[in-house]
Amino acid sequence: MWGLMAVSAVGFAVQSVPPYLSGDAADAVLPLNPDVALHYLSLTVHAVPGGLALALGPLQFVNRLRVRRPTLHRVVGRVYMMSIVIASIAAAVAAAVTISGFAVQVAFSILVMAWLYTLAMAYRSIRRGEVQLHRIWMIRNYALTFAAVTLRAYLLLGLQLSPSMEFEAIYTAAVWASILGNVLVAEYFIVQRMLAPLARRQQRRDAPLLSTPV
């Protein structure tokens, strides 16, 4: 799963960011708002650090690297955080001026807030030395970062499965599905792989106390 995630994250970043590096608005994949001169620039300032965060994220989940090279983990973590702060501010602008419709604006605005909130919580927990909590918040945060990849996957799937449907409807559904789907997968992973073992251990520890007659 990690390999699939890492390859698709890097692959998507390498393929989707270049149109926003040329400085030529005609290269934009998305239709731009003709009334907003800075629309293309907002997508560039969003996509470049967004792509960097997407590509760096998987490295941070490699246990061996984190244990053996803690300084590298810290440096990459800071670059990841700064990238998301810049990408999310630009995303808020892109969401405000997009011509993709109101439902898309609402979805991206929620995504921006959740992206920043989970990042802030991850940072706060590690500053307090709460390592497990930091991991949980980073899983949530990267699940949101990875929505950029699943969005395009759902979009391609939707276009293949429903060629007669309007592009805007498929795009809107793909945006919402990518956010909800990734959040659900992240929460499932957190509960099954992290919280359930802790809860079982706690229950085993409490069992003798609970079975003691009063």
119 in contact with ligand HEM (CB under 6 A): no
**C-beta of 51 vs 77, nearer to ligand HEM:** 51
8 in contact with ligand HEM (CB under 6 A): no
Residues 6+ apart with CB under 8 A from 138: 60, 61, 118, 122
Residue 42 burial (CB count, 10 A):
23
In the numeric block, the tokens 């590096």 are attached to 21
Residue 147 burial (CB count, 10 A):
25
* Among 46, 134, 135, 140, interactor with ligand HEM by CB under 6 A: 46
**C-beta of 69 vs 117, nearer to ligand HEM:** 117
Q: Pick from 46, 123, 116, 111: which is nearest to 77 by CA?
A: 123
In the bound complex, what is the minimum distance in angstroms from residue 153's beta carbon to ligand HEM? 12
Rounded distance between C-alpha atoms, residue 49 and residue 27, angstroms: 18
Instruction: Tell how far CA 17 is from the center of its chain.
Output: 16
**Which range touches ligand HEM (CB under 6 A), out of 127-135, 144-152, 184-192, 198-206?**
144-152
Q: Pick from 64, 13, 22, 67: which is nearest to 40 by CA?
A: 22
176 in contact with ligand HEM (CB under 6 A): no
In the bound complex, what is the minimum distance in angstroms from residue 25's beta carbon to ligand HEM? 12
* Among 40, 44, 45, 54, interactor with ligand HEM by CB under 6 A: 54
Applying CB under 6 A, the residues found at the interface with ligand HEM are: 13, 16-17, 20, 29-30, 43, 46-47, 50-51, 53-54, 91, 94-95, 98, 100, 104, 108, 111-112, 115, 144-145, 147-148
